[in-house]
Chains A and B, each alone.
Chain A
Amino acid sequence: MNELLSIVLTIITAATPLLLASIGELVVERSGVLNLGVEGMMAVGAVCGFGAALMTGSPLVGVLAAIAAGVILSMLFGFLTLTMVSNQVATGLALTLLGLGLAGMIGEGFVGQPGVKLEKISIPGLTGIPFIGPVLFGQDLLVYVSLIIVAATSYVLFRTKTGLIIRAVGDSHQSAHALGYSVIGVRYLCVMFGGACSGLAGGYLSLVYTPQWVENMTAGRGWIALALVVFASWLPWRLAIGAYLFGTITILGFSLQAVGIGIPSQLLSSLPYVVTILALVVISGNRALTRANTPACLGQPFVPDR
C-alpha cells in the first residue's frame, strides 16, 4: 500500500509539468499559432524560478518569476511571428535554442546549490485519511492549479464567447478579421498565456520535481508537451488524461530501474520518448479524430489587409 501510494504521488509530480506546459500550448494552437519554443520557455522558467526562490527564500516568488520569464520569452516569439510575420516553425526553434542557451548562462552560478522546495499542503483532518488523503488533499499548490487551469480552459474554450473568438481566430482568421475581431491581439494574448504556462511548468521542475538547477533539466519535456497536444486532439480533458498517462509511463520506467531487472537503464530512460513517438503515430494515423479538431489556420501567418 505504501509503495503504491508513493508511486501514485510521483506519477502526479511527473505529470503536472507536462500538463501545465501542454495546456498553455493547447490554447496557443487553438488560436492558430504553433509555438515550438515550449522547451526553451520551460528551461528559462526553471532557472528563473530557482534563482528567485533562492534569493528571496520564498518558493512562491520563484513561481511568479518563472511565470514572468515564460511570458517575456513568449512576447518575443509573438513579436516575431505576429508583428513581423516570421516563419512560426523556425521562430519556435529559435526560441528553444535561445531559451536553452539563456538558461545555461543564467544558471551557471546555481549549479550544485541547494534549492527551495515548494512544500505540499496539509489540511487537518483530510490529509490524514489513509491513501486518499495524501493523494487528494496533500499535493503541492501547483497540482491543483494545473487542474483548475484545465477545467477553466475547457470551460472558456467551449462554453464562452471568448472561447468562440479564440477558436474562430484559429480556424479561420480571415473570417474572424472580417467580423471585426483583432486576430493579432487575440493571438498575442494566447501566446502570452502559453508562455506563462510553460514558464510555470519549468518552475515546477526546479521548485517541486527536483528542487535544484541542473543544465538541460527540462530533458525534452517541452517537446513531449507539444506532442501531448496532438495526442489530445486539442481537447483539454483529453490532455489531462494524456499527461497522467505519460507521467505513469515515465515513473514505471524509473520503478523498473529500481527493481533492477536486467534491462539496461538507458533503454528504460528512453521510454517516454519512444512512447511519445508511438502516441503520435497512433493518433495521427486516425484521420477522423485529428481532422475534426485541428485548428485550420495552425501555423499560418496572418497579415491584415488595409
Chain B
Amino acid sequence: MRLVLEKRGERSHRMALLSPLIAIALTLITGGIIFALKGLNPFAALYVYFVEPLTTSWSIEQLFIKATPLALIGAGLGVSYLANVWNIGAEGQLTAGAILGSAIPVFFPEMQTLLTLLLMLGLGVIGGMVFAAIPAFLKNRFSANEILTSLMLVYVVQLILDWLVRGPWRDPKGYNFPKTISFSGWQTLPSFEVLPPSMGPLYVNLGAVLAVLVVVALAFMMGRTLKGFELRVQGVAPRAGRFAGFSREKTVWFCFLLSGGLAGLAGICEVMSTVGQLQPGISPGYGFTAIIVAFLGRLNPVGALVAAFALAISYLGGESAQVALGISDKTARVFQGILLFYILACDSLILYRLRITGLGGKVAEGRA
C-alpha cells in the first residue's frame, strides 16, 4: 500500500479555500496530542491557547498589536513569493527600519511635531528598503542566491543594532541598560478609540490603520493593475513572462523594495508603540512568522490580514499558556512551524488528488 498523487484536471477551487482551514484543524489536533502527552487536559489547554485571547478587551487590543506587524510583513512577502522572489530576511529589514527611524529621537530628542512622526515612519520604510536592496542588487548583478544573502543580513543588522544600543546610541541616563532614550509624544504612534468604554474600550494605534491601508492597496494592485498581473505571471509561468517582455530584474527590485519597506515600517511601528525605545530584541521573530502568515494567507494581501490574526492568537496563547498552564511559550513557535507544514501539505491537494493504491498499483511505468 502506498500514497500516490494524481494530477487533477484543473485547480480545485474548493481545496484552495479549504486547505488553510484543514491545516488549522490538523494543527489543533496535533497541539491537543502534544498537550495530552505533557499530561494536560488537551481541551482545557487548547481553550487557554486559542480561545482565551479572544475573551477580554485587553487581549483583543493585544491581538491587534501583534497582528499589525505580521499583516504588514506577510502581505509584502506574499506578493514577493507569488512572483518567485524569496525574501526571507524580513526580520533584518524590520530591524533596519527600526534603527533608521529611531535616528530621529536619538539625534533630535527635542523635536516634537507631526513632522517627527512622519519622518520616523518614512525613515523606517527607507531603512527596510535599503537593507532589502542589498540582496536584490546581489541577485541581479551577481545572481547570488537571494534566500541566503537576505538571511545572512538578518544576523548582520541585529549585530549592528546590538552595537548601537550598547555603544553610541545608549541612553546616558539609562543605568547602563542597552537601550536608547524612551520615546514620547510625537515619537510614538497615536492611538484611536475604536469602541467606546461601554463596549470595551478598544484602542488601536496608527500602525493597525496603516496595515489595513497597505493591505487594501496591495489587494488593488494585485487584482486590478498590470503590475499585479505581471507579478503573477512571473510566478506561475516565468517563461511566458519573459516572452511577454516582463523584466525579471525589475521584478526582483520591486518585490524586495516592497516587502523590505513594509518590514521596515513594521519595525519602526514596533519601537514607536509596544517597545517604546530601541533595544536588542525588538521583535519576537515577526519577520519569520510572517513567512507563515504569507502562506496561510494564500500569498494574497487580504488573506495575509486574516492569517496575521490567526498567528497573533498563537503568540498571545503562548503567553497565557505559560501563565495558566506553566508550559513554555516556546510551544507557540512549534505550533507555528507545524501549521506551515500542514498548509504546504494541504496545498498540494489543490493541484493533486491523493490516491492510496495497493502494491499492484504500479502500471505502465516508464511511459514518460
Contacts and interface: CB of A to CB of B under 8 A. Distances in A.
Interface of A: 36, 76, 80, 83-87, 89-91, 93-95, 97-102, 104-105, 108, 174, 177-178, 180, 219-220, 223-224, 226-227, 230, 264, 266-267, 269-270, 273-274, 276-277, 280-281, 284-285, 287, 303-306
B155 A270 contact: yes
Contacts of A226: 148
Interface in B315-362: 328, 330-338, 340-341, 344-345, 347-348, 351-352, 362
Contacts of A273: 152-153, 155-156
Interface stretch (B40-48, B57-65, B157-165): B157-165
A104 B327 CA distance: 12
Given A174-B368, A223-B148, A266-B160, A86 B336 contact: no
Contacts of A277: 138, 144, 148-149, 152-153
B142 interface: yes
Contacts of A102: 334, 337
Contact of B7 (A93, A220, A267, A303): A303
Given A87-B347, A269-B159, A284-B143, 11 more contacts: A84-B345, A85-B5, A85-B348, A89-B147, A95-B341, A224-B152, A264-B167, A280-B148, A280-B149, A281-B144, A303-B7
What class of interface size applies to chain B in its complex with A? 35 or more
Nearest to A83: B3
A306 B344 contact: no
Given A97-B333, A269-B159, A273-B156, A281 B138 contact: yes
A63 B363 CA distance: 43
B321 to A, nearest CB: 12
A98 B368 contact: no
A93 to B, nearest CB: 6
A304 B340 contact: no
The prevalent SS among residues of B at the interface is: helix
Contacts of B288: 97
B364 A306 contact: yes
B148 A227 contact: yes
A281 B162 CA distance: 26
Given A101-B333, A105-B328, A105-B334, A80 B344 contact: yes
Nearest to A290: B143
A36 B147 contact: yes
B162 A266 contact: yes
B144 A178 contact: no
A87 B160 contact: no
Which one of A86, A90, A274, A281 has the highest number of Cβ atoms from chain B below 10 Å of its Cβ?
A: A90
A91 B338 CA distance: 11
Nearest to B162: A266
Nearest to B3: A83
A150 B22 CA distance: 43
Given A227-B152, A280-B144, A303-B5, A94 B340 contact: yes
Given A36-B147, A178-B366, A277-B153, A266 B159 contact: yes
B262 to A, nearest CB: 19
A230 B148 contact: yes
B355 to A, nearest CB: 10
A296 to B, nearest CB: 16
A84 B348 CA distance: 6
A98 B285 CA distance: 13
A223 B366 contact: no
Nearest to B152: A273
